[in-house]
């Protein structure tokens, strides 16, 4: 029976451009929407950007632009990124939009009128990174566990939401709906948190400290706390959707909200109590996933270990990464990402697996028939494969609805492996040489190609464009939007026999892992000394001389437009190496948020003899300097340095603060 489902992702904070942590949650919603449409369900999907708060105001000030100009830029990058990689959202909301501002003020006034917002003075430990007050129990060694900073002691008068008034009601809801928070470990985590009394929530910031926010409707001297603002977007988008009419009554009760585990408390405690105070229903489900880890660390912009979606797409294809996401992560737990692991999985599952099965069966069919083969006469083995395919499709919906994506893909791989064994045993390439075995050959090829057709339908929610190309090649033109019942689409034996077939393109060309590693190693290879570099290179990599230098005269003036041509980026050094045979150079690998760290040769060895001392530090990199092919390697930028006060040594410009790796320097 068809159902309606409303998928929402967190709205992403616009203090940096999107990375694959954002992509995973967004691709999850996109995949679930496509899956449920395949099942015949009606779906709506919302994502967007969170644009108010103290961090945004600070970032805008550092960039020397208005907060509105700052958020317009980054929000546009999010929207454009999702469009370029074909994320199929129905609405994209920004918390600076008038439709959202109006709704937030309406709810604030309603909750205030009900007596659940009051004014008081408060002293507490405030974390700017979290944009909230932290309790002593939340601190680890006196620091915020997420940002590793010591909170500021702040005393000020503010408005407070009586969150504690709704604690027992929230507990009762969670206990009455065991699958409201999924997986169960996160439900238990929330219940554990709720064992102690909830403190009331500070929901305002005085304009004397912060003006960038939604003004309180009952006191124009204050703006709204960013979480009370942001958490209402999931319903404000329905009250004022692009369609122009309120559709909240239809979609809000069927909201399935998708989040990472780091924002569980705000979405499973703050949000539902706010909704209760406003007499609004709670979302149907909160689905919580784990972190993507780079090494042992969470992938995050503050650690400088992020991967940008568009950069990855340019190198490897974003849909291949989506497959990796659902293949590698058991929903709710953490999973690791490295390029080496991605390539290994891609080659094993897609290039050598699905792609290989398609290319070799289609290749023989093209040569032998010039068309998709006839069914031939079924055998016991081929019937077993058909039965295995039927079992796979029968359990497919339960696996996806239970968020067991990895298990569904594992079952697909088992079917693929069984089909490969069958083809290897039957050797259709040998049967093609025997005119009397033409029927047997046709049957083997048909079985292999039919398995590919069914797997392409099952994988289409994850890899929509790639699978659409495969299905079109196999003559499967029926839409995957519920117009044709799912059971009918995946019933074994529907391959379009006789349809013309060209030589199969390489849908999943193999990535040469060794070649890729060599290319990467070449970029990071040791270089000899800079004796053959040009004068420009020597200037860029210059070391301080042995004697104090005379102050150089100023260079000719430039305009702000000239300076704007220089792209200065914050880069985190991920490794530092000596350069054998070079008495001036060190080799630094600098991560500025691209797919791979950049190799930079710097003439600082006489002043910093141990290049490893820079690991973990953030430097300023001239990111758009034309790469220079030196004698034994490529230098992909220049770090900034200057003379010390006594003119005796070179000092590299670096940051002690928590600047975002990859962000521009202004």
Q: Are 286 and 355 part of one and the same domain?
A: no
Q: Which of 280, 313, 335 is the last residue of a domain?
A: 335
In this prediction, residues 469-495 reach a mean pLDDT of 96
pLDDT at 298: 56
Q: Is residue 513 part of a domain?
A: no
pLDDT at residue 521 is higher than 70: no
List 447's β-bridge partners, or say none.
none
Task: Identify the sign of the CA torsion 227, 263, 309, 564.
Answer: positive
Based on the residue annotation, tell me whether 301 is a catalytic residue of this protein.
Answer: yes
CATH number at residue 616: 2.40.50.140
pLDDT band at 273 (very low <50, low <70, confident <90, very high): very high
Determine what percent of the chain is predicted with pLDDT higher than 90. 63
Number of folded domains that form the chain = 3
pLDDT at residue 82 is higher than 60: yes
Q: Look over the chain and give the mean of its residue pLDDT values, rounded to a whole number.
A: 87
Q: Which of 283, 313, 335 is the last residue of a domain?
A: 335
Catalytic residue among 301, 406, 466, 584: 301
Do 355 and 375 form a contact (C-beta atoms < 8 A)? no
pLDDT at 417: 96
Q: At what angle do helices 20-38 and 309-316 cross, to 10 degrees?
A: 70
Q: Are 198 and 292 part of one and the same domain?
A: yes
More confident of the two residues 559 and 40: 40
pLDDT band at 542 (very low <50, low <70, confident <90, very high): very low
More confident of the two residues 37 and 140: 37
Place of tokens 């102690």: 196
Catalytic residue among 43, 89, 144, 255: 144
Based on the residue annotation, tell me whether 147 is a catalytic residue of this protein.
Answer: yes
Q: Is residue 203 part of a domain?
A: yes
pLDDT at 663: 54
More confident of the two residues 248 and 1: 248
More confident of the two residues 88 and 303: 88
Q: Is residue 427 part of a domain?
A: yes
CATH number at residue 148: 3.40.50.620
More confident of the two residues 336 and 557: 336
- Is the overall model pTM greater than 0.85, yes or no? no
Least confident of 15-24, 81-90, 209-218, 364-373: 15-24
Q: Are 406 and 450 part of one and the same domain?
A: yes
pLDDT at 475: 95
In this prediction, residues 515-532 reach a mean pLDDT of 54
Number of Cα atoms under 13 Å in the Cβ half of residue 226: 23
Q: Which of 335, 369, 394 is the last residue of a domain?
A: 335
Place of tokens 């070799």: 360
pLDDT band at 562 (very low <50, low <70, confident <90, very high): low
Highest mean pLDDT among 472-486, 614-628, 645-659: 472-486
Nearest to 275 by CA among 285, 267, 263: 267
Task: Identify the sign of the CA torsion 532, 538, 542, 545.
Answer: positive
**pLDDT one-digit tens code per residue, 338-354:** 889 999 999 999 999 99
**pLDDT one-digit tens code per residue, 581-597:** 677 788 888 888 775 67
Q: Are 325 and 347 part of one and the same domain?
A: no
Q: Is residue 420 part of a domain?
A: yes
Q: Are 445 and 359 part of one and the same domain?
A: yes
Catalytic residue among 147, 173, 261, 617: 147
Q: Are 169 and 301 part of one and the same domain?
A: yes
Catalytic residue among 19, 33, 257, 406: 19
Determine the Cα–Cα distance for residues 566 and 556; give it in Å rounded to an integer.
16
Residue 225 tokens read as 């706390």
pLDDT band at 530 (very low <50, low <70, confident <90, very high): very low
Q: Is residue 283 part of a domain?
A: yes
Q: Are 242 and 330 part of one and the same domain?
A: yes
In this prediction, residues 518-526 reach a mean pLDDT of 59
List 127's β-bridge partners, or say none.
132
CATH number at residue 361: 1.10.730.10
Q: Are 186 and 89 part of one and the same domain?
A: yes
Based on the residue annotation, tell me whether 130 is a catalytic residue of this protein.
Answer: yes
Catalytic residue among 43, 52, 89, 127: 127
More confident of the two residues 569 and 412: 412
Q: At what angle do helices 438-459 and 405-426 cross, to 10 degrees?
A: 170
Catalytic residue among 43, 130, 202, 467: 130
Do 636 and 600 form a contact (C-beta atoms < 8 A)? yes
Q: Is residue 648 part of a domain?
A: yes
Q: Are 419 and 298 part of one and the same domain?
A: no
Q: Are 22 and 162 part of one and the same domain?
A: yes
Q: What does the DSSP 8-state code read for residue 249? A: H
Q: Is residue 518 part of a domain?
A: no
Do 384 and 421 form a contact (C-beta atoms < 8 A)? no
**pLDDT one-digit tens code per residue, 403-447:** 999 999 999 999 999 999 999 999 999 999 999 999 999 999 999
Catalytic residue among 22, 33, 112, 125: 22
Determine the Cα–Cα distance for residues 289 and 257; give it in Å rounded to an integer.
11
**pLDDT one-digit tens code per residue, 120-172:** 998 878 887 777 778 777 888 888 887 788 888 888 899 999 999 999 999 99
Tell me which residue range forms the domain holding 452: 340-490
Catalytic residue among 52, 256, 298, 584: 298
pLDDT at 261: 95
Based on the residue annotation, tell me whether 607 is a catalytic residue of this protein.
Answer: no
Determine the Cα–Cα distance for residues 231 and 203; give it in Å rounded to an integer.
12
**pLDDT one-digit tens code per residue, 635-656:** 888 888 876 545 456 788 875 4
Q: Is residue 437 part of a domain?
A: yes
Determine what percent of the chain is predicted with pLDDT higher than 70. 86
Do 52 and 213 form a contact (C-beta atoms < 8 A)? yes
Least confident of 160-164, 522-526, 656-660: 656-660
Q: Provide the 3-class DSSP secondary structure of residue 492.
A: coil
Q: Are 345 and 316 part of one and the same domain?
A: no
Based on the residue annotation, tell me whether 202 is a catalytic residue of this protein.
Answer: no
Q: Are 464 and 372 part of one and the same domain?
A: yes
């Amino acid at each position: 029976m068809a159902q309606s489902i409303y998928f929402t992702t967190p709205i992403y904070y616009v203090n940096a451009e999107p990375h694959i942590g954002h992509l995973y949650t967004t691709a999850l919603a996109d995949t679930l929407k496509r899956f449920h449409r395949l099942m015949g369900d009606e779906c709506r999907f919302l994502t967007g950007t969170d644009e108010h708060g103290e961090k945004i105001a600070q970032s805008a000030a550092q960039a020397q632009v208005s907060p509105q100009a700052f958020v317009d830029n980054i929000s546009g990058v999010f929207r454009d990124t999702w469009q370029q990689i074909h994320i199929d959202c129905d609405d994209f909301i920004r918390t600076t939009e008038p439709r959202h501002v109006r709704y937030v003020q309406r709810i604030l006034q309603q909750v205030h009128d009900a007596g659940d917002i009051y004014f008081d003075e408060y002293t507490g430990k405030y974390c700017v990174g979290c944009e909230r007050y932290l309790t002593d129990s939340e601190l680890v060694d006196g620091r915020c566990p997420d940002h590793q900073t010591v909170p500021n002691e702040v005393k000020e008068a503010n408005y407070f939401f009586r969150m504690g008034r709704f604690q027992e009601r929230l507990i009762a809801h969670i206990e009455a709906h065991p699958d409201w928070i999924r997986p169960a470990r996160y439900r238990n985590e929330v219940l554990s948190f709720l064992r102690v009394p909830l403190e009331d929530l500070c929901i305002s910031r005085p304009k004397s400290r912060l003006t960038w926010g939604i003004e309180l409707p009952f006191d124009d001297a204050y703006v709204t706390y960013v979480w009370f603002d942001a958490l209402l977007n999931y319903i404000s988008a329905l009250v004022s959707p692009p369609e122009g009419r309120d559709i909240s009554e239809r979609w809000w009760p069927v909201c399935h909200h998708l989040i990472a585990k780091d924002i569980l408390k705000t979405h499973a405690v703050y949000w539902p109590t706010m909704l209760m105070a406003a007499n609004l229903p709670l979302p149907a489900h909160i689905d919580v996933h784990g972190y993507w880890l780079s090494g042992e660390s969470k992938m995050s912009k503050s650690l400088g270990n992020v991967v940008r979606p568009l950069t990855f797409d340019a190198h490897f294809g974003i849909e291949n990464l989506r497959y990796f996401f659902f293949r590698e992560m058991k929903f709710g737990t953490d999973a690791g990402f490295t390029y080496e692991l991605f390539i290994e999985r891609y080659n094993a599952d897609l290039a050598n697996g699905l792609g290989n099965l398609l290319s070799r069966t289609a290749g023989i069919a093209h040569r032998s028939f010039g068309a998709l083969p006839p069914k031939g006469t079924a055998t016991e083995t081929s019937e077993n494969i058909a039965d295995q395919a039927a079992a796979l499709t029968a359990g497919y919906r339960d696996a996806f609805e239970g968020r067991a994506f990895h298990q569904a893909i594992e079952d697909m791989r088992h079917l693929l492996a069984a089909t490969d064994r069958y083809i290897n045993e039957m050797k259709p390439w040998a049967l093609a040489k025997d005119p009397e075995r033409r029927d047997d050959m046709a049957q083997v090829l048909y079985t292999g190609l039919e398995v590919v057709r069914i797997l392409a339908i099952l994988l289409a929610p994850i890899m929509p464009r790639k699978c659409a190309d495969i299905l079109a090649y196999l003559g499967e033109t029926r839409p995957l939007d519920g117009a044709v019942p799912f059971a009918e689409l995946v019933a074994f034996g529907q391959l379009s026999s006789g349809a013309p077939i060209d030589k199969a393109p390489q849908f999943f060309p193999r990535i040469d892992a060794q070649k890729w590693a060599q290319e990467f190693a070449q970029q990071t290879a040791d270089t000899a000394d800079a004796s053959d570099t040009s004068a420009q290179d020597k200037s860029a990599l210059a070391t301080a001389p042995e004697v104090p230098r005379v102050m150089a005269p100023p260079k000719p003036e430039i305009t702000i437009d000239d300076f704007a041509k220089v792209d200065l980026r914050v880069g985190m050094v991920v490794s530092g190496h000596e350069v054998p045979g070079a008495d001036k150079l060190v080799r630094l690998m600098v991560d500025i948020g691209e797919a791979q760290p950049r190799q930079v040769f710097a003439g600082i060895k006489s002043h910093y003899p141990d290049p490893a001392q820079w690991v973990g530090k953030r430097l300023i990199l001239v990111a758009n300097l034309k790469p220079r092919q030196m004698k034994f390697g490529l230098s992909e930028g220049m770090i900034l340095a200057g003379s010390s006060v006594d003119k005796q040594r070179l000092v590299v410009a670096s940051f002690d603060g928590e600047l975002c790796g990859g962000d521009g320097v202004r």
